[in-house]
Structure 1
Amino acid sequence: MLIDFIINFCILFTFAILTYIPFQNRLNVYIPSSKYNPYILGLLSGLTGCLLMLTAINISDFVIMDGRLAVIVLSGVLGGPFATIISGTIIGLFRLFVYGYSTSALIAGTSTIIVGLVIGVWSWKKTMTFQNVSYFFGYAIVQTSLVIGFLDNWKFETWIAIISFILYSIVSFSIIFVILKQLSYLFEKIRHIEEISVTDYLTGLNNNRKFQEYTQDLLLKNEVFSLLLLDIDYFKKVNDTYGHPVGDEVLKELAFRIKDTSNHFGGIVSRNGGEEFSVLLPNTTEKKSLEIANLIRQAIEKNVFQISSGEKLDITISGGISTFPQNAVTFHELYKLSDEALYLAKTSGRNKVVHINQDK
């Protein structure tokens, strides 16, 4: 019997891991369309429940013990209400027909279908999560225990069967629950680390690494786009006069204004380092890029910066632009030309934006 328990639990464990990782997109596994996930998960859960019943442990003439309830409940956590209803229906019908059509099979199969329906409707109103899943699972155990008792006339052996069923269900589900919860925590930490690796710590914008990735993606699309480099005018003076903490305040406010203005045009904003920022402008030609860049510049120039000391600072920026493929076809060439245009804006008076074509 111990071997039967182990086999049944291993099937349950394999189901939990193989559905949790890809369908929750924890390792960036490619799933064609997430809208089909509840139906796919419901089907997989149902088939797993059927497999669990084929390897079930016989407790009495009316009672078989397996991990089907855990599968139904887990399908709800991972796939939502539809997954639970589908899995419960498949498992219930399998219980009804495969073990022979009888009154006990009809009651047991119907009970499983009802479990799936009730949990599905319940989770429709209150989403199932790792925090509240125990309530749903508790309901499934209580209902199934009552059905076992009813079918076996509440004899002494019936109570032994019910206790064995409850213990196996709770232990197996708890082990799966703890493992999945720990996996969720670890994957969340990984996601956070990945986010930090491509995010500027101060402004929350893309960092230089992410900026280069986005630029390469746009180059591969082979569609027109412009690269705008921005630099704060006389930023060293701000740091020298007010200190670096105030300088950080200015950088954060500047990042917000650049992003707020750029979002209207699909701009991808990054902080490349120090006081230099960049904006990638997809599907933007020379003329349009100059218009957008000047809107950004005006959003900085026309609104003073309020710092924590209560003082107000007048901040301006200069910008340089180049356009793909008109000016360059590689990342380094494009960046170099935008930097040259930025240098020209700086040396010709600051608080202005220059496209590299204007230099020519």
Structure 2
Amino acid sequence: MPEFMNDLFSAGKHSRYFNHTRSYGLFSRVRTIAWILAILQTAWILVDWLLLPEDVSSTIAYGRILASLSCLALGIWFSHPYRLEISLIRLLLLVLVLTIFQTWSNFILIGHGLESEVLAGYAFFPFMIITMLAIFPLTILEVTGFAVFVILVELVTQLWTGKFGVVAGLNDLWLLAVLGCIAGWASVNQLSMLLVLYRQATRDPLTGLANRRQVMDQLDGDIKDARELNQPLSVLLFDLDKFKSFNDNHGHAAGDLVLKQFARILKDNAKRKVDLAGRFGGEEFLMVLPGMNEADAVQVADAVRQGCHNTRVKVPTGEEVSFSTSIGIAVLHDKDEDRTRLLQRADEALYAAKDGGRDRYVVAPKSERTE
């Protein structure tokens, strides 16, 4: 539970793979809302023309057109949909566009002796902005930041217009605070559901590591990034030594305990956010280490092997047992090498480690390209 609450409080604990998923969700929702607002802002010019004096409606029309164009630009901004920081900037820009238009239109209306409260489409702006946050899967820190910003803008506006301290102004601030709490709850609840669904779809239920499908998908992306950024990439393939015999002697319940303990060792050694440890199938595991060269990958492999030596598992019979692992290491040297060939080399190195006596690692030779 504490770990889950940390995930809801801040994105600092999220893996980059989950952040990719959340980033695309934010990106698609900001884009949809931006398109809708671009249409509504333009259509509202007709309402202003019916309700406002001609000189005021003409002035505000320019602001609405500029806001519509800004929303349109956000709607057609398709780059980097999987980068979380860019998606959050998109949302911030959307909030800023609406806030700036609201503040500027209030300035125009008050300058002409008009009250925004009696005009359609103006007084509700801060409430619309803060309620809109409920649509997005945000952490507690993120939604709090957005909500506080909107409330502070309303507070400054009230101080500027002399509305602060009167009943109507206090009611608006109170309502914004209540809506902020409701929107925040809904937004964090969305993040919670997204986390649960993501983990169900991508994690091995026994060990909690990434499942085979997740590892394969992310390995494809990491290989692509390694090529584009000209960075190394290492893959470690693990096999628990004589695990079938262990299950036959101690039972599958004991085997599950060993698998869970080995998963903890892998987690402890996948120290960077970009590192991914997963269950490849049965007693085989895989670790993907983007940006890591052969020497560093060997250190990780040896740390995992030593971690097994230092661990004993108490099985249901009360007996404490030990276990070891064989490891195949493959480093992406050939930028044209695909996932299949990279894993094949890691598998060949793993079998060489097992044939060499187990409880060791072997580094695969560089890939030989065939013409």
> What TM-score does the superposition give when structure 2 sets the normalisation length?
0.58
Match of 2:196 among 192, 205, 226: 192
Note the C-alpha offset of 1:257. Answer: 1.0
Aligned residue identity for 1:239: N
Match of 2:218 among 191, 211, 214: 214
Q: Quick one: distance in 2 between partners of 1:29 and 1:279?
A: 23
Matches within 5 A, 1:108-119: 108=163, 111=164
Q: Secondary structure at the match of 2:207?
A: coil
Contact 1:46 1:90 in 2 (8 A): no
The answer to whether the aligner puts 1:258 opposite 2:280 as a matched pair is no
The answer to whether the aligner puts 1:324 opposite 2:346 as a matched pair is no
Instruction: Give the aligned partner of residue 47 of structure 1.
Output: 101
Which range moves more in the overlay, 203-212 or 278-287?
278-287
Contact 2:130 2:150 in 1 (8 A): no
The answer to whether the aligner puts 1:337 opposite 2:345 as a matched pair is yes
The answer to whether the aligner puts 1:280 opposite 2:302 as a matched pair is no
Number of residue pairs matched?
271
Contact 2:327 2:353 in 1 (8 A): yes
The answer to whether the aligner puts 1:203 opposite 2:211 as a matched pair is no
Instruction: Give the aligned partner of residue 145 of structure 1.
Output: 167
Which range moves more in the overlay, 234-243 or 321-330?
321-330
Note the C-alpha offset of 1:312. Answer: 1.0
Instruction: Give the aligned partner of residue 323 of structure 2.
Output: 315
Aligned residue identity for 1:319: I
Instruction: Give the aligned partner of residue 59 of structure 2.
Output: none
Aligned residue identity for 1:269: A
Note the C-alpha offset of 1:291. Answer: 3.4
- Classify 1:177/1:46 alpha carbon distance in 2 versus 1 (closer, same or farther; 3 Å): farther
Instruction: Give the aligned partner of residue 84 of structure 1.
Output: 151
Q: Secondary structure at the match of 2:271?
A: helix
Matches within 5 A, 1:4-153: 32=86, 34=88, 41=95, 44-45=98-99, 47-48=101-102, 58=118, 66-67=123-124, 70=127, 77=144, 79-90=146-157, 93=160, 96=161, 107-108=162-163, 111=164, 144-145=166-167
The answer to whether the aligner puts 1:289 opposite 2:293 as a matched pair is no
Structure of higher CA gyration radius: 1
Contact 2:98 2:125 in 1 (8 A): no
Contact 1:317 1:350 in 2 (8 A): yes
Deviations 1:29-55 (A, max 9, x none): 966374797787366336347769889
Which range moves more in the overlay, 84-93 or 38-47?
38-47
RMSD between superposed Cα atoms in Å: 4.5
> What TM-score does the superposition give when structure 1 sets the normalisation length?
0.59
Percent identical among aligned pairs is: 22
Q: Quick one: distance in 2 between partners of 1:28 and 1:144?
A: 46
Deviations 1:40-88 (A, max 9, x none): 73663363477698895649xxxxx944674687688461434422343
Instruction: Give the aligned partner of residue 138 of structure 1.
Output: none
- Classify 1:55/1:247 alpha carbon distance in 2 versus 1 (closer, same or farther; 3 Å): farther
The answer to whether the aligner puts 1:239 opposite 2:247 as a matched pair is yes
Contact 1:320 1:356 in 2 (8 A): yes
Q: Secondary structure at the match of 1:47?
A: helix
Contact 1:321 1:338 in 2 (8 A): yes
- List alignment gaps of at least 5 residues for structure 1: 8-17, 60-64, 97-106, 112-142, 149-164
Q: Quick one: distance in 2 between partners of 1:290 and 1:214?
A: 21
Aligned residue identity for 2:223: L
Note the C-alpha offset of 1:342. Answer: 1.0
Q: Quick one: distance in 2 between partners of 1:92 and 1:68?
A: 17
Aligned residue identity for 1:44: L
Aligned residue identity for 1:145: V
| Larger RCO (CA under 8 A, 6+ residues apart) | 2
